[in-house]
């Protein structure tokens, strides 16, 4: 993924935002802001029928050196392409690239109502750490977030 894909990536992000079960964000940022808040590596898009069907990217969880190998997953599949296995292929590739870049832990925060995303992450080696109860408000309603983690079996073992 690069700046040339941003228009489609942003459109898919806004589709996810509109579901109110993908993120606390209320609108997608501009490219400069998004670019600054995501790692330069591990940015992927899935193309189907010459269109961006999905995207995935990682953001660092902290700028402290001890957390240099820990990143948070963002993955969004366009509504027209859901249920086709694209998200699964994309997440598998994201995991592979994260390990190639020395990351030992991936984490995700997912609304409990987003069963498709929970299933996708659990299928790909993430485990549930717990539920962050009433962690933030959306439309004046407190929302819970399920915290998931995937530890690499290759990085950070010695």
pLDDT tens for 69-86 read 999 999 999 999 999 999
In a domain, 156, yes or no: no
Tell me, what CATH number does 76's domain have? 3.40.630.30
Q: Structural domain of residue 93, as residue ranges?
A: 3-151
CA 49, 42, 59, 126 torsion: positive or negative? Answer: positive
The answer to the question of residue 43 being in a domain is yes
Question: With b meaning 16 or more CB within 10 Å and e meaning fewer, what string describes 22-45?
Answer: bbeeeebeeeeebbeebeeebbbb
Is residue 150 within 8 A of residue 127, CB to CB? The reply is: yes
Structural domain contains residue 15: yes
- Structural domain count of the chain: 1
The answer to whether residue 157 sits within a structural domain is no
Residue 158 in domain: no
Is 26's pLDDT higher than 70? Answer: yes
pLDDT digits (tens, 9 = 90+) for 47-72: 998 999 999 999 999 999 999 999 99
124: in domain: yes
What dihedral angle (degrees, nearest 10) is formed by the CA atoms of 123, 12, 71, 156?
Answer: 40
Please say whether the dihedral angle defined by the alpha carbons of residues 38, 42, 46 and 47, taken in this order, is positive or negative: positive
**Residue 64: inside a domain:** yes
What would the pLDDT profile of 78-134 be if each residue is shown by its tens digit? Answer: 999 999 999 999 999 999 999 999 999 999 999 999 999 999 999 999 999 999 999
Element (H, E) at 15: helix 6-19
Residue 46, sorted as left (phi over 0), alpha (psi -120 to 50) or beta, turns out to be beta
């Amino acid at each position: 993924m690069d700046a040339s894909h941003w228009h489609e990536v942003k459109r898919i992000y806004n589709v996810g935002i509109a579901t109110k079960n993908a993120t606390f964000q209320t609108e997608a940022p501009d490219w400069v802001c998004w670019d600054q808040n995501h790692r330069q590596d591990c940015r992927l898009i899935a193309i189907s029928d010459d269109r961006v069907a999905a995207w995935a990217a990682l953001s660092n969880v902290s700028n402290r050196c001890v957390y240099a190998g820990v990143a948070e997953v963002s993955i969004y599949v366009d509504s027209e392409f859901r249920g086709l296995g694209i998200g699964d292929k994309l997440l598998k590739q994201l995991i592979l690239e994260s390990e190639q870049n020395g990351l030992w832990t991936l984490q995700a925060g997912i609304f409990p109502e987003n069963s498709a995303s929970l299933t996708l992450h659990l299928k790909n080696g993430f485990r549930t750490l717990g539920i962050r109860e009433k962690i933030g408000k959306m439309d004046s309603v407190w929302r819970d977030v399920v915290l998931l983690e995937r530890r690499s079996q290759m990085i950070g073992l010695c």
